[in-house]
Amino acid sequence: MSRATVLACLVSTSVLALTVATASPAQAAGVDYVALGDSYSSGVGAPGQSGTCLRSNYSYAAQWAAKNSPTTFQFLACSGAVTDDVVKTQVPAMSSAADLISITIGGNDAGFASTVLTCLTGSDTTCTAKVNAGKTYVATTLPGKLDSTYAAIKAKAPGAKVVVLSYPNIFDTSAVICEMSSTKRKALNSGAQVLDDMIKSRVAAAGFTFSDVRDNFSGHGVCAAKPYLNGLTIIPPQNSYHPNSSGYTNGYLPALTSAA
């Protein structure tokens, strides 16, 4: 597969499936758990992805369900999802009796895939300009999108505890050799910080719980000695710049566990 094909695959489309995974009746009584969100919640980057939503049993959501045996588990997170997809497709499909809801959302709204593509193929200047455009969107448009999404979740399941997880900083900026320049890596990490800080503020306004994964991923970015995220990946290309199994197990799972 050519580099061009790999890069093109980074620009994801929002195709949602309504497949619902339900825990078996033999499981102990507990919470009714719903996993919403985008590829960072569906498990892209880990082995065993399936269906149009690319869900994996190595995702933090599936791992939490396996360890905690909730009464029911609805796995609705979908690769490529934006806030509108959560409101229009995922929230209507979830149970109003949910006790616990987790979600990552906002990265695709802010242009994650196209920004990474620009930084891979363009100059430092072009990359920085693209990241700055994303920051402007995060400051001006994304807050309303997040507020509407959180309001829809609250309206559908008013009794649920909602845990909103952050995104990690993607790159190790100390590595001498890496697939992107230091300038590009710092710019992309800066964009992630701005995105996470905005998500945190809107989560607080909604009265939900914000769980920050950035410390868990610190020192484990792309190009680190023990990365928790995939770099540019040839097969399958969608794994590029998503958590690997270690990232979901050691980065995201503890963040959900501590907040649930």
Active site (catalytic) residues: 39, 242
Compute, in degrees rounded to 10, the torsion defined by CA atoms 12, 7, 113, 189: 150
User: How is residue 168 written in tokens?
Assistant: 């990690």
Q: Are 206 and 150 contacting, i.e. CB atoms less than 8 angstroms apart?
A: yes
Comparing CA positions, the residue from 143, 258, 255 lying closest to residue 198 is: 143
Comparing CA positions, the residue from 174, 175, 218 lying closest to residue 193 is: 218
User: What whole-number distance in Å separates Cα of residue 101 and Cα of residue 37?
Assistant: 10
The stretches of 37-101 forming alpha helices (DSSP H) are 39-42, 60-68, 83-85, 91-93
Sheet holding 72-75, edge to edge: 72-75, 32-37, 100-104, 161-165, 209-211
- Helices 124-140 and 142-156 meet at what angle, rounded to 10? 50
User: How is residue 51 written in tokens?
Assistant: 């269906």
User: What whole-number distance in Å separates Cα of residue 153 and Cα of residue 25?
Assistant: 26
